[in-house]
Structure 1
Amino acid sequence: MKKIICVVTGGQIGDMEFFRSKLSELNPSEIICADSGARHLYPLGIIPDVIIGDMDSLSQEMQNYFDGKGSRFVRYPEAKDETDTQLALEYACDLAPEKIYVFGAFGSRIDHVTANISLLLLGAKRGIPVTLVDEWCEAFVVSQKFAIAGKIGQTISLLPLSDKVTGITLEGFEYPLENGVMEIGKPYGISNRLTATKSIISVMTGHLLVIRYFSVEDLP
């Protein structure tokens, strides 16, 4: 059985039923919350294994509740360089899972969303696949060769997370590519589409951000 860890951050979780069912489907070996991410679990009656951060946005009432249910708290001072999500992701990576899913990484705070996307590199550099996910889409990094099992017509956007990503080959896409290059500031990989149920992304050097939307017809 794969060792999967789920990290829940304090960002937006729009569809709680999707959140609940996805957690059930993944059946993670551990759930780690970044500070107020724990509040998303409270109405579902799910108890996180670890709550990590400065606890500046998780009410004392909820802290007492989860403490009484056996959650472990890893506390940091408010004045720190790392975000709570970074601390939670680093903690998860130290457990050497096969994959990490992060919930609550998106929302209206564009600075937090951008920071969370940049944290995908933390997993990539340690060889641990990390996926940010909500009811609309998933975001992850490809650094070598990756097969996407999807639906024909799904929208896929590709953006460089390195200054330059080289040797990009796309198979099973509306706009295929062979040995292409993507650079920051030239976002021509936006809004491609799958033309096969199994599509291939290959990268020679660099880190490529992949954003896949689940719905074929509706986009947020």
Structure 2
Amino acid sequence: MAYERCVIFGAGEYYEGPAPAIEKGMLAIAADGGLDHMRAMGLSPDFVIGDFDSLSGDVPDGDRSVRLPPQKDDPDLLSALKVGWSRGAREFHIYGALGGRIDHTIANMQLMALLASHGGIGYLYGDGSIVTAIADGALEFPANHVAPRRMISVFSHSDVCHGVTIAGLKYVLEGAALANTVVQGVSNEFVDGSAATVSVESGTLIITFPIEAPLPVVRLRHPFGGDLGALDTTVSSALAVR
């Protein structure tokens, strides 16, 4: 069965707010200790994947469980993304991947950029905010009523993003260049009742926005190719264990 959307439950922090949900037609994947969170919420995964170093309960048997070695290049979340991608998903909703260890948080943001570089879209759900990425395209937010001082911020993941346009927000840009050493797009705000667009002609942007804002429509400037690759259960020579 092919899926267009996938929800992934990670082992990290879960916060107050809308409860994670598995909507009809979504592929549900538990990444390692994310299975504990799913069980606590009374949810069942289609697949479970990980080295299970953070899982407190039993590992399910059967071909829906993918056990990974503890020493490998790919983190558990990337492996879960690869499973979802290989089954047709191009939109990913990810819980338990922000907060906690800062290195994991940074890595998971980079994975959103990886999805974007292949024409996919991922949403990391955190403490009142969502983190996503867009490459060579636009995020179009419908008109909304997000309260003032609930920030939307735009960062360049690429060395330089060209043709960055921010429209419909409190502060606007038109065809600007943003570098990954410049924070020109931080701390913007929605305008009450107005639609908004964040777009980039060339490059990858990381965007954070309030969790209560409506999810954007994704517009891509061109077709994307390639995929996330096969599951990698080895350690490269560059990361050889001593």
**What TM bracket, shorter-length normalisation?**
0.7 to 0.9
Matched residues in 1 for 2:194 and 2:83: separation? 35
Q: CA RMSD in A?
A: 2.0
Q: What SS does the aligned partner of 1:18 have?
A: coil
Q: Which moved more, 1:167-176 or 1:151-160?
A: 151-160
The reply to whether residue 160 of structure 1 matches residue 156 of structure 2 is: yes
Q: 1:214 to 1:73 in 2, by over 3 A?
A: closer
Q: 1:81 aligns with which of 59, 70, 73?
A: 73
TM-score, structure 2 as length reference: 0.78
Kindly indicate whether the alpha-carbon contact (under 8 Å) linking 2:30 and 2:38 is maintained by their aligned counterparts in 1: no
The reply to whether residue 151 of structure 1 matches residue 149 of structure 2 is: no
Matched residues in 1 for 2:98 and 2:110: separation? 12
Q: What SS does the aligned partner of 1:57 have?
A: coil
What's the CA shift for 1:29?
2.2
Kindly indicate whether the alpha-carbon contact (under 8 Å) linking 2:99 and 2:126 is maintained by their aligned counterparts in 1: no
Q: 1:131 to 1:54 in 2, by over 3 A?
A: same
Larger relative helix fraction: 1
Q: Which moved more, 1:110-119 or 1:185-194?
A: 185-194
The reply to whether residue 18 of structure 1 matches residue 18 of structure 2 is: yes
What's the CA shift for 1:133?
1.4
Kindly indicate whether the alpha-carbon contact (under 8 Å) linking 1:54 and 1:84 is maintained by their aligned counterparts in 2: yes
Query: How many correspondences in the alignment?
Result: 206
Kindly indicate whether the alpha-carbon contact (under 8 Å) linking 1:164 and 1:183 is maintained by their aligned counterparts in 2: yes
Q: Which moved more, 1:94-103 or 1:199-208?
A: 94-103
Q: What SS does the aligned partner of 2:33 have?
A: helix
| Long gaps (5+) in structure 1 | none
Identity %: 28
The equivalent of 1:190 in structure 2 is 186
Matched residues in 2 for 1:209 and 1:142: separation? 7
What's the CA shift for 1:123?
1.2
Matched residues in 1 for 2:211 and 2:47: separation? 30
| Long gaps (5+) in structure 2 | 214-242
Kindly indicate whether the alpha-carbon contact (under 8 Å) linking 1:3 and 1:98 is maintained by their aligned counterparts in 2: yes
What's the CA shift for 1:193?
0.7
The letter of the residue matching 1:208 is L
The reply to whether residue 55 of structure 1 matches residue 52 of structure 2 is: yes
Q: Which moved more, 1:114-123 or 1:141-150?
A: 141-150
The equivalent of 1:32 in structure 2 is 29
Q: 2:122 aligns with which of 109, 112, 130?
A: 130
The reply to whether residue 4 of structure 1 matches residue 5 of structure 2 is: yes
TM-score, structure 1 as length reference: 0.86
Q: What SS does the aligned partner of 1:56 have?
A: coil
1:153-179 deviation digits (Å, cap 9, x = unpaired): 341010111111110111111111001
Q: 1:131 to 1:108 in 2, by over 3 A?
A: same
Matched residues in 2 for 1:42 and 1:102: separation? 16
